[in-house]
Amino acid sequence: MTSSPETSGPVVARTRDELRAARKALTGNEIAVVMTMGALHDGHATLIRQARASADRVIVTIFLNPLQFGPREDLSRYPRTFDADLEICTEFGADVVFAPTPDVIYQDGDPGVRLSAGPLGDVLEGQSRPGHFDGMLTVVAKLMHLTGGSAFYFGQKDAQQLLLIRRMVRDLDFPGRVISVPTVRESDGLAMSSRNMYLTDSDREVALSLSRALKAGAAAATEGPSAVRRAARAVLVAEPLVLVDYLVLVHPTTLKDVPEWYRGEALLAVAGKVGTTRLIDNLPVLVGPGGGALQVFSNPDQLGPAELR
């Protein structure tokens, strides 16, 4: 186990034994955990800062999970910036950084037993990335056990991931609370993402149409679902260099398209390819009177109306 050069820096644990020792040394009731794949940016920093503000101790995990990448995805080119990541963890007050290699997490190789995300894992991101959510939930479950945390912070940026983690915790009675943090954006609206590093200057301009589309959709929220979809689609149609994978307005917990009569909270989500980079973004919106964009959902564990399940 190593301490970073600054005496006040987090303890860096690479192995299970090192994590166990570091975890044992943490005092306090509330142990918050922020799970990341590294290449940390202000979005991750915000999660760490929020965790720091409300918990006694903070563990950040940095693990590029091979199980959630498909064979044709970007695992090999995913940015690896451990030294800069450690600086951010230090600056925002992490107590422990757990940065294992795959053989530490999957000590017997590919796990024969893994979690299944079920039908919610087959739609939207799951349709383009088969098996992604099973791999994601499997590692989140393992990291929840290994860290022994009591509060787990996840970003609204990955809305379907967040929903599935909430469902896993409820459906399988995992201990601990899931806390969602609103999406952190660049000043021009682009949602922060480690994958933004892949974008060329011109890609980046094109990519702005994703958040613009969401904003336009949310601005039409008082008029009902089809107005939201129409306004968002109009922005994307005007930017043919985004290869749109999906643009949907769905119920936040069932991910089913909301019908025209629906009024209430809904998820406006988009995914598309810009250049060689697949990007996702979303906005929680209130559809109906007084409607518009929301930061996060007001009651994220509530199941939708029966007709939307």
List residues forming the annotated binding site for (R)-pantoate: 68, 161
Taking the complex as a whole, the smallest distance from the CB of residue 272 to ligand AMP amounts, in Å, to 17
| CA angle, 28 then 45 then 24, to 5° | 25
Residues forming the active site: 44
C-beta separation of 251 from 285 below 8 A: no
C-beta separation of 68 from 132 below 8 A: yes
Contact residues for ligand AMP, defined by CB under 6 A = 36-37, 43-44, 46-47, 154-155, 157-158, 181, 183-184, 191-194
DSSP calls for 286-306: EESTT-EE-SS-SSTTPPPPG
Taking the complex as a whole, the smallest distance from the CB of residue 58 to ligand AMP amounts, in Å, to 14
- The CA dihedral of 172, 107, 140, 83, to the nearest 10 degrees, is 160
Select 220 or 279, whichever has its Cβ closest to ligand AMP. 279
* Residue list, annotated binding site for beta-alanine: 68
Taking the complex as a whole, the smallest distance from the CB of residue 48 to ligand AMP amounts, in Å, to 9
Q: Which residue is listed with tokens 């999970």?
A: 65
Taking the complex as a whole, the smallest distance from the CB of residue 18 to ligand AMP amounts, in Å, to 21
Select 194 or 254, whichever has its Cβ closest to ligand AMP. 194
Q: How many residues does the chain have?
A: 309
- Tokens standing for 40? 């940390």
Q: How far is CA 54 from the centre of its chain?
A: 20
